[in-house]
Structure 1
Amino acid sequence: MTGGPEWAEVESPFLDQLASMGWKIVIGNLDEPSVTGRESFRDVLMKQDLRRKLREVNLRDGKPWLDDGRLSQAVSALDRIGHKKLIEANQEATELLLGGVAVEGLSDWDGGRERTIHFVDWDHPERNDFLAVSQLRVDCPPGMAKEFITPDITLFVNGIPIGVVECKSPTASEPIASAVDQLRRYQNTRLAAGEVEDAEGNERLFYTNQLLIVTSYDEARVGTIGADARYFLEWKDTAPVPLAEVEAELGRDRLSSQHELIAGMLRPAHLLDIIRHFTLFQSVSGKTVKIVCRYQQFRAVHLAIERLLHGKTREQDGEANRRGGIVWHTQGSGKSLTMVFLVRKMRSVPELRRFKIVVVTDRKDLERQLSGTAALTGETVQRARSVSQVKRLLARKGPGIVFAMIQKMQDRDLDDLSPEDEVGDLGLLNDDEAILVMVDEA
């Protein structure tokens, strides 16, 4: 509903800033689903928009090739995710968004081999549609006391809902906690946690969700599905776009928390980058949770990528290799995740795909995350369980991900080393300049 301080001071400025970055804005209608590109208020996908974008994004020799049958197969893959726990459904949907769906190929194209339909053009943000809907009505399942929910802003990419924003007036009592609680109602998270007895929302809207945002203008925070207020954090940077550039774009001398979050996370190229490289699922105390990067991690990875791409090698510099550096983290701030995000990002940059990446750490959970990251690019993590294995893997030419658990090589084990495992003088194992060594605190 437009009107009132929440609209004037928070939601309307939010939509205006999105529009300035290329988003299309639609004001929802509680009586007519076609206004928001749907046949029914039960739908969460804008199916016709999605079918159109699938044709445009997936090309053969620069021309569309998908027929109605294959389009229906792709749309159904997202639309018919089974009744599961929300986190399980979201993980399945996220894997589809990132990896696409396999369909039967064409007989005259590579011998008819299977093709992958991609839902998003990750490499060319400008080829995707970005749409923000104010007051999107989504009907709740039959039998519920509540007929429908209407999130303040729902964010769509190519007709797929990937973000939900809840706005509260700056003068409201505890606006951020209230907004998070409302998002939890929409997701039926409170029901799942046993806090209430009846369903309150429609979790299907959140199957493909990547970001949950709460804002009261002066304070804006981001979280992921299932999270409570403790895990919603501010995004305090606009990098890699300079702060001064964003201030000039908006004609402001100072940015609010809401301005910074929108500029840092929802600029189309940033949003796709975050979904593709900086979001993952992790097991915590036996429970699967979804994690999105902090702004410091996003900034650090981009700075590292810039240095790897443009820093001088030892040969070019004549003195030292200028591509390395130190990324400083406070205790518990996610340094292992920063390493995972960097590896994922490197594997999407053509010039960096050829790198051999050597990770030295004492974290077994990092090995699991890197294994998942490697799977996205068709790689496998090569595990070095001894000094001799490390030497063999380092000497091997070509790209790869080598994982060296540091406790396998501690001094207390030296008495047990075989002659071939004694370190000694390693000499020159590999003179390739496309090698990155990442050392975790250990």
Structure 2
Amino acid sequence: YGRLREAIKRINADDGPVDDLTVDRAIRALEATGGQALLEKNRILTERLIKGVPVESRKPGAQRQRWVRFIEFDPAKQDRNDFLAINQFRVDLPGRGTFVIPDVVLFVNGLPLVVVECKSPSITDPIGEGLDQLLRYSNNRYWVDEDEGVEDLFLFNQLMVVTSFYKARLGTLGAYHEHYMEWKDTTPLTPEDAAAELGKTPEALKSQELLAAGALRPGQLIDILRNFILFKVEDGKLVKIAPRYQQFRAVHKAVNRLLTGRTRQQDEKDQDRRGGIIWHTQGSGKSITMVYLVRKMRTIPKLRAFKVVVVTDRTDLEKQLRDTAALTGETIRPDDQDNRRRTSATETLKAILREESPDIVFAMIQKYLERTGEAEVFEYEVPVHPPKHREEGLVADAPRTKTLRQVVRDQEFEVLNESPHILILIDEAHRSHTKTFHANLMKALPNAAKIGFTGTPIMQCDKASTQSIFGEFIDKYRLNEAVEDEATVKIVYEGRTADGLVEHTDRLDQKFEDQFREYTEAEKQIIKNKYAAEGDVLEAPKLIAAKAADMLRHYVRAVLPNGFKAQVVAVSRLAAIRYREALEEARTRLVVEIEALDPGKLHLSDEDLEREDAYSRFLIGAARHLDTIRRLEFAAIVSHNHNDPPSWRDWTDKASQDAVIARFKKPLVHEDPTKQDGLAFLCVKSMLTTGFDAPVEQVLYLDRKVVAHELLQTIARVNRRVRGKDCGYIVDYIGVAGHLHDALGDYDDETHDPMVDVRDEVPKLRDRHKRVLDVFLTRGIANIRDVEACVDLLADVKIRSEFINTFRLFLESLGIVMPRPEA
């Protein structure tokens, strides 16, 4: 407490001397908590470290209440803080006659903010052992019933680090292995400066040195505490979030551009130079990056007064910002008082945007700007021929033509606010935010700075217009980087059209061209966009039933054993609902088939099992999960149309959809049955293919043509990382891989295919298997069944390390290819 007491006096001296009694009261106010769980206490104490505490003073002549701070956050006054690192810090466990000794503890003003566990790189699994030790110290090993840690050490903890020099990972209190990440950047320090301090070249910096330079230097650690620590509730459980290095880097770059860029009035070309584009791939936390940026701005005097306008259609981002507002002392507009105004939502938002106040305003620009321009309506009359492959008869008087209508409207909007102290943050800044939308923004908020966030690369044809709106790129974090960092999982692709489930798909486009050869290319494109040429075929009930059965077999074989879930993307709303029904029927049939198995076949030896046909082997394997298969449920989520049949209401009603999504996000299997849910499949057309974050989803079955940025966003639904999920699957029934390869050629600076074809993994599996065997066979062991000789060989640390690395890669490929026969 001596260091804390002295720091309190130094930090608060500008407001007058701090007497010992006030110091004592401040410390008591800081530490006061109830009977909450450790992480809830940590949340309360973290907030007090950031904001300080009010302390009553009874000293005659002194102010009655003063605000006492415990950490100096001003970068120019960091000498007021006391930084201390202790090696082998012993902490006794009260009443238990034992103790723990973390390798390194970092103290700021006498408070332990960081615990570091160091492991030798020569042991079998240094990172895993270190993480297990940190969980033990903090009483977070849920599989251990007894009290084994010392929670008081972690009351003020902000970061947890485990390192073996060559690899170091950073996480937070309560996080498990999959949430610890490497820190690969030294921002705001340059790699050259960081390396020079160690007498190295930037290329020679190891993982431990990058993490220490980028996250644990005094200035960075204080910055992370103040601006980059978040708490949120996931699945009813409080979790603590620390930044990833790309988020920290992007925020610092964005802030620097806001501070140094020219405003529109200062620029010779009448353009605002303070913004730009942040391209962080899907699943890498770009929404949280927005939250970090707003918090960081509020601590910088020149940016504190900015009005921040967040443009998005995603309610989850609004909730993140609202939940964070408590730490910044702000509210999100429109708030409850705004909503009580007797004006329309449009007028309320306009009034807020006109105000000269540093609000955070959440808005869909398209919704509140008035549309006063002239509208031009194009109508196209197109023939509708009876489909040859539809299995349901047409009504006798069914129309033989359809009218396609497209409305093009010139839009002119009023000026709402000409202040340069406005920042517009635009979520998913791809093609929809160009052209007309640019005019919307420029007219309403002509002098605002703009930062666009995107999870997909910018198409080359749109690069010029996008950058003319937002400016140059601020930061990039590509998909391959996210996979390498294990921030997301790799996506494994399986093409199923070759299986004969869809016949003659190559002829569909040609048939369309023949049918509509008298129309112009522009007219044909409108027809294609509105009525997919293959729609009638892909909606056919028998074809859907065949595909649904195939999907369920794939799911039961590759996904269900790991406890994950699935999404089906269908060609239409009707097809999505039919898929739901077909999957239910397929599950019922599968259960009957499993129950009809000869009980003796459930206990066959591996050799006898190989003699069975492929489908029998599948059923025997599925029998192990029969109870779970019986529980499987299926739902559809589609948009509402006033002409929908009444039976669709369960799948179009907003409240019902929210309930279905909440159920889907629960684990399929859980040790506590009340926390699991058998809803395993969501069948959709377009809903939930973008902006939907459900880590429990591992496979997406594609039966609709998806192109360009929508395709990249759609396949990213399965790349979210969660414990036990090594990869995501895209199972393609429409031949979308070719569109993906074409699309990648249209994008700027994105040449990495985001999907791995499962067929490419088979030769890789063979190669990795050979490398594992060669660890033994090249060192004089003729037969690896000689277990004793193999174990003796692994006594050598270097050989054991080589075996562990090769075996890990082999298991990675095996997990992708299994349980296919090739494996």
Same fold (TM over 0.5): yes
State yes or no: 1:84 paired with 2:36: yes
Task: Give the superposition deviation at 1:400.
Answer: 1.2
Q: Structure 1 residue aligned with 2:114, among 146, 163, 178?
A: 163
Task: Specify whether residues 149 and 178 from structure 1 end up closer, same or farther in structure 2 by C-alpha distance, changes over 3 A only.
Answer: same
> In structure 1, which of residues 422, 425, 436 is the aligned counterpart of residue 423 of structure 2?
436
- CA displacement 1:254-295 (0-9 Å, x = unmatched): 100000000001111111001100111011122110000101
Which residue number in structure 1 is paired with residue 18 of structure 2? 66
Secondary structure of 1:369's match? Answer: helix
Quote the offset at 1:91 in angstroms: 0.4
2:210 pairs with 1:260? yes
Residue 7 of structure 2 is matched in structure 1 by 53
2:347 is aligned with 1:388: yes
Q: CA deviation at 1:406?
A: 7.2
**1:121 counterpart = 2:80:** no
Matches within 5 A, 1:132-147: 132-142=85-95, 144=96, 147=98
Greater shift after overlay, 159-168 or 353-362? Answer: 353-362
Deviation at 1:72, TM superposition (A): 1.1
Q: Which amino acid aligns with 1:430?
A: N
8 Å CA contact 2:12–2:18 kept in 1: the answer is yes
2: CA distance, partners of 1:270 / 1:214 = 18
Q: Does 1:337 align with 2:285?
A: no
Counterpart of 2:246 (choices 287, 296, 302) is: 296
Alignment correspondent of 1:99: 51
- Paired residue type of 1:56: R
Residues 27-426 of structure 1 mapped to structure 2, 5 A cutoff? 47-60=1-14, 63=16, 65-105=17-57, 108=61, 112-123=63-74, 124-142=77-95, 144=96, 147-190=98-141, 193=142, 195-253=143-201, 254-319=204-269, 320-383=271-334, 386-404=345-363, 425-426=412-413
Question: Does the Cα contact within 8 Å between 1:97 and 1:119 map onto a contact in 2?
Answer: yes
Paired-residue identity, %: 51
Q: Hey, what's the Cα distance between the residues in 1 that align with 2:193 and 2:23?
A: 40
In 2: Cα distance, 1:404 partner to 1:321 partner: 21
Counterparts of 2:46 and 2:247, CA distance in 1: 21
Please say if residues 31 and 45 of structure 2, whose CA atoms lie closer than 8 Å, have aligned partners that are also in contact. no
Tell me, in whole angstroms, the C-alpha distance in 1 between the residues paired with 2:286 and 2:138.
Answer: 30
Structure 1: segments with no counterpart, 5+ residues: 1-46, 412-421
Whole-angstrom distance in 1 between the partners of 2:365 and 2:128: 42
Equivalents in 2 of 1:216, 1:138: separation in Å? 23
The higher radius of gyration belongs to 2
Aligned partner of 1:5 in structure 2 is none
Give the equivalent residue in structure 2 for 1:4: none
Structure 2 letter corresponding to 1:219: K
Displacement of 1:379? 2.3
The answer on whether the counterparts of 1:362 and 1:407 sit within 8 Å (CA) in structure 2 is: no
Q: Is the CA contact 1:125–1:272 (under 8 Å) kept in the aligned structure 2?
A: no
Match for residue 695 of structure 2? none
1:370 is paired with a residue whose SS is helix
Partners of 1:343 and 1:373 within 8 A in 2: no
In 1: Cα distance, 2:422 partner to 2:366 partner: 22
- Write out per-residue CA displacement over residues 206-235 of structure 1, whole angstroms, 9 at most, x where no aligned residue: 111000000000000000001111100000
Q: TM-score, normalised by structure 1?
A: 0.81
Indicate the residue corresponding to 2:493 in structure 1: none
In 2, distance between residues paired with 1:407 and 1:434? 22
User: Secondary structure in 2 aligned to 1:326?
Assistant: strand
Point out the more displaced range, 146-155 or 287-296. 146-155
Q: Which 4+ stretches in 1 moved above 4 angstroms?
A: 105-109, 405-411
Partners of 1:301 and 1:424 lie apart in 2 by 34
One-letter amino acid of the structure 1 residue matched with residue 255 of structure 2: I
- The Cα shift of 1:153 comes to 0.5
For residues 285 and 406 of structure 1, what CA distance do their matches in structure 2 show?
A: 32
Cα drift, residue 380 of structure 1: 1.6
Aligned to 1:169, the other structure's residue is in SS state coil
- Size of the aligned set, in residue pairs, is 377
- Shift in Å at residue 108 of structure 1? 4.7
CA distance in 1, matches of 2:214, 2:22: 36
Matched-pair contact (CA < 8 Å) for 1:140–1:202: yes
Q: Give the letter for the 1:357 counterpart.
A: V
Post-superposition shift, 1:107?
Answer: 6.2
What is the CA-CA distance between 1:405 and the residue it aligns to? 5.2
Distance 2:131 2:410 in 1: 54
Distance 1:262 1:323 in 2: 30
The CA distance in 2 between the partners of 1:197 and 1:438, in whole Å, is 46
Which piece of structure 1 moves more, 354-363 or 181-190?
354-363
* 8 A Cα contact 1:363 1:405, kept in partner: no
Distance in 2 of aligned mates of 1:79 and 1:348: 25
State the alpha-carbon separation in 2 of the partners of residues 173 and 394 from structure 1: 59
Q: Is the 8 A contact 1:354 1:398 kept in 2?
A: yes
CA contact (8 A) 2:263 2:273 kept: yes
Higher relative contact order (CA closer than 8 Å, sequence separation 6+)? 1
Give CA deviations for 1:381-425 in whole Å, capped at 9, x if unaligned. 1128833222221111232111125796799xxxxxxxxxx9953
Residue 126 of structure 1 aligns with an amino acid whose one-letter code is D
**Alpha-carbon RMSD:** 2.2
Secondary structure of 2:239 counterpart: strand
Residue 66 of structure 1 and its aligned partner are, at CA, apart by 1.6
Which position in structure 1 is the counterpart of 2:737? none
Aligned residue for 1:283, secondary structure, equals strand
Map Cα deviations across residues 78-107 of structure 1 (whole Å, 9 max, x no partner). 444333211111101101111111101466
Other structure's SS at 2:415 match: coil
Within 1, Cα distance between the matches of 2:251 and 2:205?
Answer: 24
Rounded Cα–Cα distance in structure 1 between residues aligned with 2:68 and 2:150: 27
Q: Distance in 2 between matches of 1:326 and 1:86?
A: 39
Partner SS for 2:72: coil
> In structure 2, do the counterparts of structure 1 residues 406 and 203 end up closer, same or farther at CA, with 3 Å as the change threshold?
farther
User: Could you tell me which amino acid in structure 2 is paired with residue 57 of structure 1?
Assistant: I
Work out the CA distance in 1 between the residues paired with 2:137 and 2:34. 19
Moved more, 211-220 or 432-441: 432-441
